[in-house]
Structure 1
Amino acid sequence: MLLSIGQELVQRRNYLPEGTQVETIYFGGGTPSILAASEIEYLLDLISIHFPLALKEVTLEANPDDLSLEKLAAYKKIGIDRLSIGIQSFQEPILRFYNRAHTASDSLRVLDLARSAGFSKLSIDLMYGFPADNHTYWQKDLEMALTLDPGHISSYCLTIERKTALGQWKTSGKFKEATEDFVADEFNLLLDAMTGAGYIQYEISNFGKPGHFALHNTNYWRGVPYLGIGPSAHSFDGQHRGSNVANNARYMKGITSSTPVFQVDILSPEDRANEYLLTALRTIWGVDLPFFRSTFGWDLLIDKEHEIRFLKDNGWLIHADDSLTLSRSGKILADSISAKLFI
């Protein structure tokens, strides 16, 4: 697989718009922390050979149980400067329910190890919305996360996919997900805790202290082109999106035989405008109205006048300084608000 990924890097070296300098590299999607530092270094070397670099951040997703001090030191030496650690929860009953391989003590240990290895840019992932009688689990998770103070916290709501074990349990009645009100309460607890600790919600699911925003995340949500390599990877060249085949065997066979593994999604002008609305509204920077008008040709203040007035009157949308941003109450309704503004 590693050799196939290396081959794809070479094959798609001209994918990004001409003159694009690569500012961020992100090893994620799956468990890249099972790779040895030498394997990741091989990919970094290929990238440096075939792409113009102006690197500001190199991130590695990691599971707490994959990391030792020796391995962390090796990652740091080859240029990894941000770790994104999939903790999910510090509560043992929840970790067991999610069938996670690591324990709460592993999570506490790995942050100490990462700092000992010289990592100053750390991100941790937490998940809220676990159905329970009250919010005690979530409050304890927030308290522990802020005690550890990694500088960046990503927090996502538990979602149930139909083909997963949880999806099957839900269908059979073995598992009942939390109510919308319960999830909304946990989201508000999250906002209160982050704000109180000096974290800025720069994107609905991402919180960082000043100077600690994850640059790769920021670029993604602000529509910067990116190239994704490997099975299931997605890419965006500024005009079109696309994705690689998900099946590992088909992916490797395609790369070896130079059979296309990347399928392009043709975006209409409306698609591009709506994607911008969907992503920009999730951020602290919001929708840049002059940019939207000059880039896509629609004037939202005219074309969506009634919808904007309705959303503002309900306290969900803020219009200020030539931008549209979500209010605190609007953030939990982000997707439906975006849909109301779609072209």
Structure 2
Amino acid sequence: MAGIYIHIPFCKQACYYCDFHFSTSLQYKSEMLNALQNEIRLQQNYLSGQTIETIYLGGGTPSLLSGDEVNMLFDTITKYHTVSSDAEVTIEANPDDLNEQQVKAFKQTTINRFSIGIQSFYNEDLFWMNRVHRGQEAQASVKRVQDAGFTNITADLIYGYPLLTDHKWKHNLEQIFELSIPHISAYSMTVEPKTALASFIEKKVYAPMNEAQSADQFMVLLQEMQNQGYEQYEISNFCLPGQYSRHNSNYWKGIKYLGIGPSAHSFNGEARQWNVANNARYTQALNGNTIPAERENLSEQDRLNEYIMTSLRTSWGLDINKLESISKHSGQELLKAAEEFFYKGWINKANNVLTLSTEGKLYADKIAAELFF
């Protein structure tokens, strides 16, 4: 099994916190779509003929595409790959794009899962983030998708920024529950270099993030999700029973995937590659039947450390037996390195599998870094 990710590098406007690759000009959208199709053709052997179980349209804002353009990309994929009949096919969407006509158009495609970027239901928060949509549009878009017959829906929320009081955070979560959304991805606001948010904080236009606030709201998130019967199967991802994201889970489980589009990353089990993060250079290269990618062969240590980092973020945990199958290092070496975290109660061990405790999830990156070989 394997997955395909397609990066659609266009947005209506730039969110202040975002450092993903995109352009706010749609002038060259047709050229980009032609290049994407050409890359799919040129990369047809990257996954060694494996069946495609998941397809994910990310970005950027893929919901800016028409239904016909989505079908064109899917037709190209099926021309060069075997796609499972029950493949999970996700499109990221902004609420303001999901009007009745667009939802109806997407219903005529193979899309069967929506990832809707809500972030907040409060207009002042959305304005602070420079989001296009407003709170009422977020609610309406979810209902519109549900009325069209889609049940596999996930929503993104952000917490840990100055405007978000605990009361507002709980209300955002309550809105999600009332809308019966089966999957939620919730992220702490991070300040990435060279973003507008970083500049505003540096110039003291915006207040800086507060780590204590973020930690407190993370704990509120865990409690509210548990109360509503959601499983936290990854640090930032929660779902009702059986509703986890198959595509994203493959990333955390180290399953192969092909990334198509500018800035997209790929992994074939032995190496990673990533495309140039520049629309013009990407399309020009593909026009010449060249894939504008760099490649890094992963050493045994690289693969081991990646497994430590990703597995500890999940409810499936770090399997000592798998660790030993990846490298020459023994599980005892890792357990010795983890002694401090056992003592602090940040890591639990059961049946040779290590998982983070509730408190340990606050320090996931620190723990993983300390356990790297």
Matched, 1:44 2:74: yes
Q: Which 5+ residue runs of structure 1 have no aligned equivalent?
A: none
With normalisation by structure 2, the TM-score equals 0.89
What residue is the counterpart of 2:174 in the other structure?
143
What residue is the counterpart of 1:237 in the other structure?
268
- Aligned positions of 1:79-98 closer than 5 A: 79-98=110-129
Which whole-Å CA distance do the structure 2 matches of 1:189 and 1:59 have between them? 28
Contact 1:232 1:245 in 2 (8 A): yes
Tell me the alpha carbon deviations over residues 262-283 of structure 1, each in whole angstroms, 9 at most, x when there is no partner: 1112222111110111111100
Matched, 1:304 2:331: no
Contact 2:53 2:88 in 1 (8 A): yes
Q: Which 5+ residue runs of structure 2 have no aligned equivalent?
A: 1-31
Return the offset for 1:298.
1.7
Contact 2:143 2:179 in 1 (8 A): no
With normalisation by structure 1, the TM-score equals 0.97
Tell me the alpha carbon deviations over residues 20-46 of structure 1, each in whole angstroms, 9 at most, x when there is no partner: 211000001211101001111011111
User: Is the partner of 1:333 in helix, strand or coil?
Assistant: helix
Tell me the alpha carbon deviations over residues 239-264 of structure 1, each in whole angstroms, 9 at most, x when there is no partner: 11111000100000011112330111
Return the offset for 1:205.
0.5
What residue is the counterpart of 1:330 in the other structure?
360
What residue is the counterpart of 2:225 in the other structure?
194
Which whole-Å CA distance do the structure 2 matches of 1:38 and 1:46 have between them? 12
Greater relative contact order structure (CA < 8 Å, 6+ sep): 2
What residue is the counterpart of 1:53 in the other structure?
83
Tell me the alpha carbon deviations over residues 203-252 of structure 1, each in whole angstroms, 9 at most, x when there is no partner: 10100000211111111111111001001101111111111000100000
Tell me the alpha carbon deviations over residues 45-102 of structure 1, each in whole angstroms, 9 at most, x when there is no partner: 1111101222420000000000122321221221100000000000111001111110
**Which deviates more, 77-86 or 125-134?**
125-134
What residue is the counterpart of 1:342 in the other structure?
372
User: Is the partner of 1:304 in helix, strand or coil?
Assistant: helix
Contact 1:132 1:178 in 2 (8 A): no
- Aligned positions of 1:53-202 closer than 5 A: 53-54=83-84, 55-132=86-163, 134-202=165-233
**Which deviates more, 20-29 or 137-146?**
137-146
Tell me the alpha carbon deviations over residues 104-157 of structure 1, each in whole angstroms, 9 at most, x when there is no partner: 000010111001111010000000011148422212111111111200000001
Return the offset for 1:19.
4.2
Moved over 6 A (4+): none
Which whole-Å CA distance do the structure 1 matches of 2:334 and 2:325 have between them? 16
**Aligned pairs, number:** 341
Relative to 1, partners in 2 of residues 1:133 and 1:64: Cα closer, same or farther, differing over 3 Å?
closer
Amino acid at match of 1:136: H
Relative to 1, partners in 2 of residues 1:117 and 1:239: Cα closer, same or farther, differing over 3 Å?
same
**Which deviates more, 170-179 or 226-235?**
170-179
Which whole-Å CA distance do the structure 2 matches of 1:177 and 1:312 have between them? 33
Return the offset for 1:334.
0.4
User: Is the partner of 1:14 in helix, strand or coil?
Assistant: coil
**Which deviates more, 326-335 or 257-266?**
257-266
Tell me the alpha carbon deviations over residues 189-212 of structure 1, each in whole angstroms, 9 at most, x when there is no partner: 000010100100011010000021
